[in-house]
Amino acid sequence: MAAENLRCKECGTEYPLEALYVCERCFGPLEVTYDYGFADDLATLRRRIQGGSQDVWRYADFLPLAGGPPGPSNHLASRAGLPAGWTPLINADRLAERLGLREVWVKNDAANPTHSFKDRVVAVASARARELGFGALACASTGNLGNAVAAQAAALGLPSYVFIPSDLEEQKILGTGIYGTNLVAVRGNYDEVNRLCTELSAEHDDWAFVNINMRPYYSEGSKTLAYEIVEQLGWELPDRCIVPVASGSLFTKVHRGFAEWIELGLVEGRQPVMNAAQASGCAPVANAFAAGQDFCQPVRPNTIAKSLAIGNPADGPYVLELARRTGGGVDAVSDDQIRAGIGLLAETTGIFTETAGGVSVAVLSELARRGDIDPDERVVLVITGDGLKTLDAVRGSFDSYEIDPTLEDFEAAVGVAAI
């Protein structure tokens, strides 16, 4: 399968595979299209995937690179980059039991080089950026993307520019600056950072803004989450997938990943029901879903889930369409529910997720409580980032013991009788 061109999702106008992201005719988003013709039969294709490297490049047939997976070459700044993807899919049986469900799997994308799913999209965007000859990476970030861009640029030996809202979690700021990037904290919210970067990308057309002028390539990287889920389930589909939504790009591309493989016949079954998860403090898509609208009224974010704090989601209309078409939905949960979700996942699976993951867990809990999930369903919960990035969210959420170093004090304080 080879990438063919960029096509406007609104009006269908086609463009060459360059650093373009907006249709000049109608301002719609551009998406990569492929020639789905394969010379190989499906069994051969499956074997090739299974024999591939244990990262996103095992799916190179479905990614928009002209030259295949990146690898070492003679160029000074040329390395394969950070090995993103191929993260664990864990059978969360105790979580399922607590929620009265039969089968829940956790796709733990905290297990990426910079501990979030953003390493996938940055791997693809940066590889394509190098094919197109760009000399610098840049992004507008709510935190995780900044980590991923700064680290990937360091691995590739490229300069980078990371723009973030100035009120981000300290862990995400430190986890970006350490890589030697040009870190720019903007006094404003993410939507203002994004507006600034949209203007900047026009002024600095020699920079690859991964989520602006490289966005059609970048977003394709998220399809690999769906491919991995299918492969790790033994070439089967889940019945339902719960995905957190900020801009909506991840949600639409996980859907697309499943859809492509169903269409090709690589996996059999029906498209999974897609549930989107947002925080009540930033729920433009959930609000629109509840109101029956097909557009999102922007909001001013106020939530502990800062990685999801996009008040003006670029792919919001498509999330609404796909959630409705698959029989899913878009739900929003409170900050308290998010904290409880982080705790529930940690206690039942050993996975410590950041606030965005807490949003996903809390929405799963809510769907289970409402009886929206058939007890026989196989559900996959997408966990996008690591709890060590949002420590403030869990501070004070548990008790501990402080004792003198004596047996007596231990027994007195903890009260566990010796056996």
Partner 1 sequence: MAVTVKIPTQLRSATGGESVASVEGATVSEVLDGLFVQFGELRERIADEDGGLRRFVNVYLSGEDIRFLDGVATRVPDGAELTILPAVAGG
Chain residues that interact with partner 1, rule: CB under 8 A: 10, 21-29, 140, 190-192, 194-195, 197-199, 201-202, 209, 211-212, 215, 246-250, 295, 297-298, 300, 310, 312-315, 317
What is the C-alpha to C-alpha distance for residues 152 and 163, in angstroms, rounded to an integer?
15
Residues 6 or more apart in contact with residue 408 via CB below 8 angstroms: none
Of 194 and 337, CB closest to partner 1: 194
Other CB atoms within a 10 A radius of the CB of residue 196 amount to: 15
Give bridge partners of residue 161 from the DSSP assignment.
138, 182
Minimum separation from the CB atom of position 95 to partner 1 (A): 28
Minimum separation from the CB atom of position 269 to partner 1 (A): 29
Of 70 and 357, CB closest to partner 1: 357
**Does residue 60 contact residue 46 with C-beta atoms inside 8 Å?**
no
Minimum separation from the CB atom of position 191 to partner 1 (A): 7
Minimum separation from the CB atom of position 44 to partner 1 (A): 36
What is the C-alpha to C-alpha distance for residues 401 and 380, in angstroms, rounded to an integer?
36
By C-alpha distance, which of 154, 325, 162, 357 is closest to 244?
357
Of 127 and 140, CB closest to partner 1: 140
Of 21 and 352, CB closest to partner 1: 21
Residues 6 or more apart in contact with residue 364 via CB below 8 angstroms: 99, 104, 242, 341, 379, 381
Long-range CB contacts for residues 32-35, cutoff 8 Å, separation at least 24: 32/3, 32/4, 32/5, 32/6, 32/7, 32/64, 32/216, 32/217, 32/220, 33/3, 33/4, 33/5, 33/6, 33/7, 34/1, 34/2, 34/3, 34/4, 34/62, 34/64, 35/1, 35/2, 35/4
Of 72 and 292, CB closest to partner 1: 292
Tokens of 287: 């609000």
Of 131 and 192, CB closest to partner 1: 192
Of 24 and 268, CB closest to partner 1: 24
Minimum separation from the CB atom of position 164 to partner 1 (A): 12
**Does residue 179 contact residue 145 with C-beta atoms inside 8 Å?**
no
Minimum separation from the CB atom of position 231 to partner 1 (A): 26
Minimum separation from the CB atom of position 385 to partner 1 (A): 14
Of 21 and 86, CB closest to partner 1: 21
Report CA torsion sign: 274, 275, 277, 283.
positive
What is the C-alpha to C-alpha distance for residues 136 and 157, in angstroms, rounded to an integer?
9
Minimum separation from the CB atom of position 30 to partner 1 (A): 8
Of 267 and 288, CB closest to partner 1: 288
Minimum separation from the CB atom of position 221 to partner 1 (A): 12
Dihedrals phi, psi of 32, to nearest 5 degrees = -70, 135
Minimum separation from the CB atom of position 323 to partner 1 (A): 17
For residue 331, the surrounding DSSP H or E stretch is: strand 329-333
Of 300 and 370, CB closest to partner 1: 300
Torsion of CA 405, 408, 409, 413, to 10 degrees: 140
